[in-house]
Chains A and B, each alone.
Chain A
Amino acid sequence: MTVEFAIFLSLAAVAVGASIAMLVSRNAVYSALFLVIVLFAIAVLFLLLSAAFIAMVQVAIYAGAIMVLFLFVIMLLGTENVESEPSHPWQFATALVLSFGLIIQFLIVANGLPGESGGDFGEVAEGFGSPAGIGTLLFEEYLIPFEVTSLLLLAAMVGAIVLTRWERSK
């Protein structure tokens, strides 16, 4: 067992464990905090996979901005505990069965990977995943999608403001 595999294994264990904890915890605040753990674990995995820039973005935006937003809303609404008793009993069973089927399918896919991507990760070019590389790609090849993204964010911002506005006149 190599060091890297050990790191991966522990990170995977943390991520899966925190995910399950997020699912089962009754309190939404705990769920949010468990999710933060998952996100951090994934960010470290990104680093491992030579995606330094993305890892930083993951930490800054997800773990920082988005999760803060979640927590803020939870606390604003005061809805930490909403579920008293489970409704739709068959829903739970169906979900478990389907999830089991899905995992099986993933395993089949993962095992059936073709030769070159099936083996261990090999060498990679110098500066792969660096901010400079991503930036160059972003502003050359993906310039228009990038600009469209900014429009999308603007629309989301406006939408959020409109949706949460108090109707004082009424």
Chain B
Amino acid sequence: MTAEALFSLAPLLILFPLLGLVVNIIAGRRLGERGVGIVASAAVGLAFVIAILQFIALRMDPSGATIHIADWIVIGQLEVEWALQIDTLSVTMMLMVTGVGGLIHIYAVGYMHDDVRFQGDPSRFPRFFVYFNLFIAAMLLLVTGDSYLTMFVGWEGVGLCSYLLISFWYEKGEDGIGNALAGKKAFVVNRIGDFGFIIAMLITFWFFGTLTFEEVFNEAEAMGAGAVGAATAITLFLLVGAAGKSAQIPLFVWLPDAMAGPTPVSALIHAATMVTAGIYMLVRNAALLEIATVTPDIIAIIGAATALLAASIAVARFDIKRVLAYSTISQLGFMIAAVGIGAYVAAIFHLVAHAFFKALLFLSAGSVIQGVEHGHHRADSHEEHFNPNDMRVMGGLRTRMKATFWVYLIGALALVGIPPLAGFFSKDEILADALLVSPAVYWVLVGSAFLTAFYMGRQILMVFFGKPRSKAAEAAEESPAVMVAPLVVLAILSVGGGLINSPGLLPLTHFLEDTLEGLREPEFVAAVAAISTLLAVLAIVLAWLVYGRRPMAHDPVRRLGSLWTAIRHRWWVDGFYDWLIVSRYISLSHWLAEVADEQFLHDWVHDTVIARSFVRATNWLASVLDLRLIDRGFDGLGALTRRGAGGLGALQTGYVRNYAVAVFIGMVLVVSYLLLS
């Protein structure tokens, strides 16, 4: 098969998940849980096969291809077509999305089976997989789109799926509305980012007259110094979009709340794939970033700051998924920082590796949660407000959930960056690059890495070691094979994932070279690796000292006092936003509703101005115009007609001879006329 023939299969990539979701929409109820799961997983699996075929095709023809599907918008100068861009960058992403996505689909079959029963609505099982397939399709559209606009469609599509899945149990959560609010928050915060994206698109079109990536980059390159301002503006606004989607300062607040969704959602969307869209988008625009002046620095600062801030907040979380959520934000900060310092390959490398081990961690956490939930039901304990996510009710799960414990440990070590696991290589590449470009960023990131190791150690120790701190933890049980099997695969990937860009060979760098021009070959700096490994081990030891030795009533870190309070309250960022934006917005809404709408518009404008003058006008119309003028006019007309009819009726005597006279008169008159004319 030629590369061209393989490239032409690319549309199937998106088609298969769409097909799966259509089948599940139509026949989901009849297929049963097993059927729905098989259809959804098979759809993603087939997409994965197509992605592999694209990869093979790229080995044959590294230049890639653009697969034109249809014209979309053709308005004057603006020409946007539906086209899929197949190059090494997008194929890397699609392999990751479909591969990890497929594993999470399989896991979700087992997880959702129990979840829908715990939450009490088994009929929602097919819906979950419809959303999941829709997400995969949108994500693939995002990574394959060849223009800003097609990418934006995928971008919005994944945002929609995120919203739908966060509030999947929309009637649950705090006060029965918590999940819905979390979904709303994610959606609104993402809108802010999307706003930036749209502005970036408008500037792009205004300045370059096109929206296709390739044309824009070529134009920018051709213009040289003339494009610096535009590139800076565009990338700055793209950064806003990326900050929204990839949960960076200042728009990261939605991601922890997004943990309201079922755990596979957290794993797939809010850890492995969707949140990396921002990084992917920035890397895709590497050509513009190279031209732009200020933006890379800002990106690096934001990334590093986010990494540190989120890592510090994660230390004080008790919800197992929230720890991982802040960890995700922190790791995304690493990637963003990597983009900022120009280490695009490192960013993508860490993105892929992170997808492996963070998906693994989330899925394992899901396994833990469900194990505890099972234990809760088994132990028949009737504790009010039992929260299976709370690490304080866990402990000692090492023995009860052996497989989960081991894969969790692998994931955690990979995240922490213990050699030779995936996270070690990817994080190290970023750190090495950072040291070369900007020591400040490097030290911030190292600090974050230290905190990462600390909170992961804390989490492992709280969840799996010590003694069970509740009856539920005592009775926890291992998850079924359909959930454990994907975990094992992901664990293997987390262990071996570092090989995709192992120092010396650098396969990923060489692979991406075909798409991203002018890449630096990352160097493996032994000192950097040694320092970060040492710090990681130190942090774990510290965690053991703090959490491992004795049963825990209160969090020992609490002794840090005001610092604890700060991180416990997430540095008051949410509160600050609430105070700065949300409460202002709500009081503005109140003012608009009560004063502007109710009092001004409704009471005054409507009731007083419009209604009263309308009534007056209609009164005048009714009594003066209608009654006096129109009514009388028509009455008069009627009377006239009646009188006229009476008069004419008299002519109609009914006597034939009268009619004959009339005819005769007419005849004489007509003949007279003819004679006289």
> Is A105 positioned at the interface, with any CB of B under 8 Å from its CB?
yes
Interface residues on B, range: 10 to 19
Tell whether, in the assembled complex, residue B672 and residue A105 are in contact, meaning their CB atoms are under 8 Å apart.
yes
Q: What string of 1s and 0s marks CB contacts (under 8 Å) between A67-108 and chain B? A: 000000000000000000000100100110010011001001
Show 14 A/B contacts (Cβ-Cβ < 8 Å), sorted by A. Answer: A88-B655, A91-B657, A91-B658, A91-B661, A94-B661, A95-B661, A98-B661, A98-B665, A101-B672, A102-B671, A105-B671, A105-B672, A105-B675, A109-B675
> Is B668 positioned at the interface, with any CB of A under 8 Å from its CB?
yes
Q: Which residues of A are interface residues toward B (Cβ below 8 A)? A: 88, 91, 94-95, 98, 101-102, 105, 108-109
Which chain B residue lies CB-closest to A108? B675
Q: What string of 1s and 0s marks CB contacts (under 8 Å) between B123-158 and chain A? A: 000000000000000000000000000000000000
Q: Give Cα A91–Cα B668 distance, bound, in whole angstroms.
A: 16
A57 to chain B, nearest CB (A): 28
Given contact pairs A98-B668, A101-B672, enumerate 17 new A-B contacts (beta carbons under 8 Å).
Answer: A88-B655, A88-B657, A88-B658, A91-B657, A91-B658, A91-B661, A94-B661, A94-B665, A98-B661, A98-B664, A102-B667, A102-B668, A102-B671, A105-B668, A105-B671, A105-B672, A108-B675
Interface of A is mostly: helix
Number of A-B contacts (CB under 8 A): 25
CB within 8 Å of A: which B623-677 residues:
655, 657-658, 661, 664-665, 667-668, 671-672, 675
Which chain B residue lies CB-closest to A101? B668
Q: What string of 1s and 0s marks CB contacts (under 8 Å) between B98-114 and chain A? A: 00000000000000000
B191 to chain A, nearest CB (A): 86
Chain B contacts of A91 at CB under 8 A?
657-658, 661
A65 to chain B, nearest CB (A): 26
B453 to chain A, nearest CB (A): 116
Q: Give Cα A91–Cα B660 distance, bound, in whole angstroms.
A: 10
A113 to chain B, nearest CB (A): 13
A161 to chain B, nearest CB (A): 24
A141 to chain B, nearest CB (A): 29
Chain A contacts of B675 at CB under 8 A?
105, 108-109
B672 to chain A, nearest CB (A): 7
Chain A contacts of B664 at CB under 8 A?
95, 98
B677 to chain A, nearest CB (A): 13
Chain B contacts of A101 at CB under 8 A?
668, 672
Q: Ordered nearest first, which 9 A-B pairs have the shortest CB separation?
A: A105-B671, A101-B668, A98-B664, A98-B668, A94-B661, A108-B675, A102-B668, A91-B657, A105-B675
Which chain A residue lies CB-closest to B665? A98
Q: Give Cα A105–Cα B675 distance, bound, in whole angstroms.
A: 8
Q: Give Cα A94–Cα B655 distance, bound, in whole angstroms.
A: 15
Chain B contacts of A98 at CB under 8 A?
661, 664-665, 668
Q: Give Cα A95–Cα B657 distance, bound, in whole angstroms.
A: 10
Chain B contacts of A105 at CB under 8 A?
668, 671-672, 675
Chain A contacts of B672 at CB under 8 A?
101, 105
B666 to chain A, nearest CB (A): 10
A111 to chain B, nearest CB (A): 11
Q: Give Cα A56–Cα B664 distance, bound, in whole angstroms.
A: 32
Chain B contacts of A94 at CB under 8 A?
661, 665
Q: Give Cα A109–Cα B674 distance, bound, in whole angstroms.
A: 11
Which chain B residue lies CB-closest to A112? B675
Chain A contacts of B661 at CB under 8 A?
91, 94-95, 98
